[in-house]
Amino acid sequence: IGSGTTATLHAINVVSSGSLRIVKEVTGDGADAYGAGPFTVSLACTFDTGEGVLDVTVPGGPTREFDVDDPALYEGLPTGSVCTATETETGGAAEVTVAGDDPVAIPRRDTAELTIVNRFDLGGLAVAKRLDGEGAAGHEDDVFTVDLACTLAGSAVDIPGGPERTVTGEGTAAYTGLPAGAECTLTEIDDGGADRTALSVNGAEGGAFTVAACDTATCDAAEVVNAWDGAVLSVTGADLRSAAAAALVFLIAGAGLLLAARRRA
C-alpha cells in the first residue's frame, strides 16, 4: 500500500457455521443399468457482509465425488452464506435437475440438504438389410453380420445381447436397451462379398449416431445396402440332377453314333 493511500479489507468473521449435504438420486428406465456414475459435484458459496458480497473458501475444497449410497458433505461453511451446487460429472445422464432450494442458505449449526437427480433414458437401433444390383437375387439366403460399439460419458458400453447381430437376406435386426445419449458406431463386419456397400443411420451417411431416448424399443434406424454388379448363378441340387441327366443323354447318343460308324466300316 503506497503512502497516502487507503485500503479496505473485507473479512468474514465466522461466529457460527453449518453444513451442506448433497444427495444423489437416479431415475429413468436406464437407471439400473447405467446410473452407477461416476458423479462429481462442485460447490460455490458467497457471503454478504452488508458492505459487499465475498466469495467463500470452501473448507476441504469445492469438489466432491458422490453417489446414491455416499452423499457429498460440506462442513464448516459460514452461517448465512449462500451456496450453489453444480454437477460437473453426470455419468452420462440424459437430464440433471436439482431438488430443493438452489442456491441454498447455510443454517446455524445445522445441515442443509440438496438432492441432485440424474435421469437415465433408454433407446434402441433397428437395422434393415437391403440387397441391390443385378446379382442381388443370388444372395437372398446369405447371412450378414453387423457390429455396434458405443461409449457413454467416455466409457465403453456393454451392449445388451452382445455387439454383433446377424441378418439373413433382406432381414432385420435390433439393438435394444441402449443408453440414451451414448455415442455409437455401427459397422458391417461380414458383407457377403458384396461389390459395394452403403450404410446410413437416420438418413445420414455412415454408421455414427447418438442414441435417442425412446418410448418404444427402438427409435433410431439403420439401413445397410449390399450390391452386386453381375448376375450370380445359383446352383441347386435339382440343377445338378438336370445337368447330369442331360450329360448322360449326350453320352449315350455319342456312344451310339460311334458304334454305328464302326459297323459301317
**pLDDT tens, position by position, for the chain (265 residues)?**
566 665 554 455 556 999 999 999 999 999 999 999 999 999 999 999 988 999 999 999 999 999 999 999 999 999 999 999 999 999 999 999 998 888 999 999 999 999 999 999 999 999 999 999 999 999 999 999 999 999 999 999 999 999 999 999 999 999 999 999 999 999 999 999 999 999 999 999 999 999 999 989 999 999 999 999 975 433 333 443 343 344 334 334 444 433 344 444 4
Q: Which three cell numbers stand for residue 181?
A: 445419449
Q: How far apart are CA 40 and CA 102, in angstroms?
A: 17
Q: How far apart are CA 212 and CA 188, in angstroms?
A: 21
Q: Domains plus CATH for the chain?
A: 17-119 (2.60.40), 122-227 (2.60.40.1140)
Residues across the chain: 265
Longest dimension (CA), the chain: 144
Q: How far apart are the first and last CA of the chain?
A: 136
Q: How far apart are CA 56 and CA 11, in angstroms?
A: 10
